[in-house]
């Protein structure tokens, strides 16, 4: 079953402040979902929150998220010389039961990706600086056979 997972910084604090934050989160996501633990279909990492479209396989979602978020929070606090909570409450997870919702989520990640690509082409966000917050995205295209082989994953 596919889940739309979201998490936000405590008090809407930026949880991705620099390139190393993005790299750390994505590296941890790769480790937590590697070896067929889960499949990640799309993600969007914004400055103060994230979205994941993920299907757990061998490891339950709570275990994956605990590994990802606990390690990231500890390293984030060390890197930025701070203490305390990084994430506001527990992550939120919505079960994706309809193909239409799945396509909407992928479309959202696709728009983040295209906005990011556009910003880099026009010189780093001078025209639409608020879109510069959409710094890391990935999505499978709607026509990707991996996504729709045999219907909704």
| Predicted TM-score of the model (pTM) | 0.74
Residue in the block written with tokens 């527990």: 90
Query: Residue 149 has what pLDDT?
Result: 38
pLDDT band for 146, please (50, 70, 90 cuts).
very low
- Per-residue pLDDT at 9: 96
Residues 9-19: tens digit of each pLDDT: 999 999 988 88
Distance CA 56, CA 62 (A): 10
Binned at pLDDT 50, 70 and 90, residue 75 comes out as very high
pLDDT score of 110: 65
Compute the average pLDDT of residues 60-87: 97
Crossing angle of helices 61-79 and 19-33, rounded to 10°? 150
Read off the pLDDT of each residue in 50-70 and give the average, rounded to a whole number: 93
Tell me: pLDDT of 152 over 50: no
* % pLDDT > 90, the chain: 35
Distances, alpha carbon 61 to alpha carbons 5, 65, 101, 151, in Å: 9, 6, 19, 21
Domains by residue range for the chain, with CATH: 2-143 (3.30.70.1290)
Q: What confidence tens digit (pLDDT) does each residue in 87-128 have?
A: 999 999 999 887 777 777 777 766 665 544 433 433 343 333
């Amino acid at each position: 079953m596919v889940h739309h997972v979201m998490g936000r910084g405590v008090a809407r604090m930026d949880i991705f402040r620099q390139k190393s934050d993005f790299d750390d989160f994505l590296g941890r996501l790769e480790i937590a979902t590697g070896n067929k633990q889960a499949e990640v279909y799309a993600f969007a990492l914004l400055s103060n929150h994230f979205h994941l479209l993920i299907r757990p396989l061998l490891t339950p979602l709570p275990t994956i998220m605990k590994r990802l978020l606990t390690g990231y929070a500890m390293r984030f606090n060390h890197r930025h010389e701070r203490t305390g909570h990084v994430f506001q409450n527990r992550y939120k997870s919505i079960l994706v039961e309809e193909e239409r919702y799945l396509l909407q989520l992928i479309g959202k990640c696709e728009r983040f990706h295209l906005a990011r690509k556009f910003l880099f082409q026009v010189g780093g966000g001078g025209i639409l600086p608020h879109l510069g917050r959409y710094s890391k995205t990935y999505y499978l295209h709607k026509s990707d056979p991996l996504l729709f082989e045999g219907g909704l994953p």
